[in-house]
Structure 1
Amino acid sequence: MGIGSGTRCKYVIVGNSAAAVGAIESIRRIDRDGDITVVSDEKHHVYSRPLIAHYLAGEVHEERMAYRPADFYERHNVETRLGLNVTRIDTDGQNLILDDGSTLHYHRLLISTGSKAMKLPLKGNNLEGVGIFQTYDDARQIVSRFVTDTKAVVIGAGLIGLRAACGLQERGAEVTIV
């Protein structure tokens, strides 16, 4: 899957989820020598997102959150750029500009960022203890602030909201779902 004679293909994957892992494994099946770089705004290696509710409930410990072994990226010869955002995509020049000012050139680009939770535009949404529940860091922040007998309000009765409510309830919170 090279790009011209003697040139190694440069793959860049934006996002670090199960989709990124699947892409890495697929690329390596057909191209063992290409350069692969993963860029993610999260600071963690890939983890199992469905487990964050179980982590919140205290049913799963940190070491079980990994979606792949710690050496996954090294074994697949993948460079990781974690904790960084893509601020611009130059499709003509095939470059990504990151928020640290660096530039990444690519031949093949996969954007697998998934969705982003948003804070509702309500008064008080920036107060201590008000947040979102989508990432491992969100769950860790909730756990670090948690006090037994806490009252919690979960806005949203979708799968993630209900999982968050159950996790909080497992820790002893009085939960109201709106």
Structure 2
Amino acid sequence: MTKFNYLIIGNSAGAIGCIEGLRSVDKEGTLALISEEAYHTYSRALLPYYLSGIISLENIYYRPPDFYQKFNVTPLLGKKAVRINFKSKEVELANGEQVGYEKLLLATGASTLTPPLTGLDKKNIFGFLSLNNTLQIEKILDQVKNVVILGGGVIGLMAAEVLNLTAAEVLKKRGLNVWVVELAERILAPVIDETASKILEALFQENGIEILTKT
């Protein structure tokens, strides 16, 4: 079993910020990063831009290719952490491998909230939080005409920067019929007020995107 002074589970903004912060005070301690995805660190906020064709896949990576090497990090990419033994300070991976640590950071970020609905195990149902999700969606877009997005929050609408490009807009631009289904009375209810929600709903509908609230 390999043991590290520092071990991070996750490979996005929190993990990268931790790596850079650690190396500013400790340049010698051993440091490893575990990520279920096999990719170099990338920006989730740029995924809609990639899906729409505005940027290339290479442009979603927000650190240089030599980032891990430069910061003396052992990247354990494409490996899923399945169990943590806090007593022995070990992380078990899906392949049975054990990774030891002295200090551990959990920086896995958000995960898709799956509603208790039947049929969500069927074909062509995806989350939209990761590059894996995005590549899966990209593969089937030319085969479908109708898309339903469950959730009218920031993730569902996938607002990038100032909400000028969303998951719904990306799909609509590809000639698809798009519906956004939101359980609450309005979209982005926890983030903006009622007036702003109505303005955004009107903008979406002007672009042919149906907004279904209280549904």
TM-score (norm 2): 0.75
Q: Distance in 1 between matches of 2:4 and 2:95?
A: 24
Q: Could you list the per-position Cα deviations for residues 45-72 of structure 1 after superposition, in whole angstroms to 9, with x for gaps in the alignment? A: 1101100111122212101010201110
Instruction: Tell me which residue corresponds to 1:165.
Output: 168
Q: Which moved more, 1:14-23 or 1:54-63?
A: 54-63
Count, aligned residues: 171
Provide the rounded CA distance (Å) in 1 between the counterparts of 2:68 and 2:117. 40
Q: Which runs of 5+ in 2 are unaligned?
A: 158-165, 182-215
Q: Are residues 1:55 and 2:58 paired?
A: no
Q: Does 1:85 align with 2:80?
A: yes
TM-score by length of 1: 0.90
Which structure ranks higher in relative contact order (CA pairs < 8 Å, sequence separation ≥ 6)? 1
- Gaps in structure 1 of 5+ consecutive residues: 1-7
- 2:160 is aligned to none
Structure 2 distance, partners of 1:64, 1:9, is 31
CA RMSD of aligned residues (A): 1.7
Distance change in 2, residues 1:82/1:149 (3 Å) = closer
Contact 1:149 / 1:174 at 8 angstroms: preserved in 2?
Answer: no
Which one of 2, 12, 15 corresponds to residue 20 of structure 1? 15
CA-to-aligned-CA distance 1:153-173 (integer Å, 9 cap, x gap):
111111221122111112221
Q: What is the identity percentage for the equivalent residue pairs of Structure 1 and Structure 2? A: 36
1:147 to partner: Cα distance: 1.5
Report SS of the residue matched to 2:142.
coil
- Out of 95, 115, 120, the position equivalent to 1:120 is 115
Flag the 1:123–1:9 CA change in 2: closer, same or farther, 3 A: closer
Match of 1:5 in 2: none
Matched, 1:138 2:141: no
Residue identity opposite 1:69 in structure 2: P
